[in-house]
Amino acid sequence: MLFSDSVEALKNQYTDKYVRVSTPAPELARFHDAVGQVKTVNMNGRALVEFMDYHLNIGWFDIDPSCLTVVDKPAPKDPAEKAAKPQAAAAKPAAAKAAPAAGEKKLSPLELARMQGAGGKAAAAAPAKPASGGAAPAKKSTADILAAARASKSAPEASAPAAPPAAAPAPAAEPAAAAPPASTGGIVRIDWKSMSTAEKIAYCRAKDAT
């Protein structure tokens, strides 16, 4: 730790002096082209330097005095150049804000395809214009459309030949008369197995009638 008299001596030597970094140390390489002014020297014997026009940064950087070289006060800059720097700094944020706005207007390929599809549907829905320069045909009313539909429906019916009359259905064959039952000694025996269904029905009807 430095003694207070040594710190005071450094203050008297460097305070308000203009300095430039004169060391190849990589941590100080960013200040090689900048001129700074020593504001004071702290109790650790390090100079607090404010670099002029260093990215509009007004912070104080503590640097060892052995890394600094005292230089003459830089000449004042042209007022026009001073006014141009704030304008350039203000133009950068404006350009950054304008970039997203321009990006929003640019449509993606998917949006372009959707717009093309919507345009195709609208063109298909629109009525076709006549090829010649004549007027478009008049729009038919609902009554005209219904009359045309009825006329087209009745026309095939009138021209179609009359269908031939359907043939009369053939009369159903009457069931054959039942064979007389065989009688044996006054007892009537019926051979049901040899009789057809029609014969059985005819026999039952004849028996019921008697």
pLDDT in tens, 38-94: 999 999 999 999 988 776 677 899 999 999 999 998 887 766 655 566 666 666 666
Kind and range of the H or E run holding 151? helix 142-159
Kindly indicate the confidence band of residue 99, based on its pLDDT and cuts at 50, 70 and 90.
low
Would you say the C-alpha torsion 59, 30, 34, 19 has a positive or negative sign?
positive
Domain 4-71 grouped into CATH 2.30.30.30:
yes
Give mean pLDDT, residues 1-24: 87
How far is residue 148 from each of residues 44, 136, 138, 143, 155, measured CA to CA in Å? Answer: 109, 20, 16, 9, 11
> Higher pLDDT residue, 126 or 190?
190
Domain boundaries, the chain: 4-71, 181-210
Q: Is the pLDDT of residue 174 over 70?
A: no
Give the 3-state secondary structure percentages of the chain, helix then strand then coil, rounded to 5: 45, 15, 40
Most confident segment among 50-59, 113-122, 152-161: 50-59
Q: Please give the Cα distance from 108 to 8 (Å, whole number).
A: 67
Question: What pLDDT is recorded for position 10?
Answer: 92
- Mean predicted confidence (pLDDT) in 156-182: 55
Over the chain, what is the mean pLDDT? Answer: 73
What are the DSSP calls for 111-154, one per residue?
HHHHHHHHHHHHHHHSPPPPSSSSPPPPPPPHHHHHHHHHHHHH
